[in-house]
Structure formats: C-alpha cells, structure tokens
Amino acid sequence: MYLVVSLVCCSWARRVGFYTLMHSVGLPLLLLLLLLLLLLLLLLLWVHGEILATYLPIYVDRLPVR
C-alpha cells in the first residue's frame, strides 16, 4: 500500500514539479504540523501546571518543619 502511494506520488511530483508540489502541499502541511505541535505543548504545560497546583501544596504540607 505504502509502495503504491509513494510511486503514485513520485510520478505525480515529477509531472507537476517537486517544487510546486512542496509549495502547494508541503508548506501548509508543515504549518499545520507546527500549529499542532504548539497546541500539544500548551496542553502539556497546562496539564503539568494542573498537576503541580494539585499535588505541590500537599507535598509542601507534608514537609517536616524545622
């Protein structure tokens, strides 16, 4: 399946021109991927912050007072 897709893509890219293909498909795809990565990072930071806000006070309360 992958071989068929890659062969079709390669023949089409040679016909249209690799540069045009990259400009029309690759650039928006790259931007979309970057946006998705940024959203994932924000989500990760938010979840990490939630975890810290939940468990850090408990941990601080359990620390022995000198």
Q: Compute the distance between CA of residue 63 and CA of residue 6 in angstroms, rounded to an integer.
A: 59
Q: What is the pTM of this model?
A: 0.46
pLDDT of residue 53: 76
Which sequence spans correspond to the domains of the chain? 2-62
The two three-digit tokens of residue 53, written as one number: 């806000």
The residues of the chain scoring below 70 in pLDDT are: 1-19, 21-22, 59-61, 63, 65-66
pLDDT of residue 48: 77
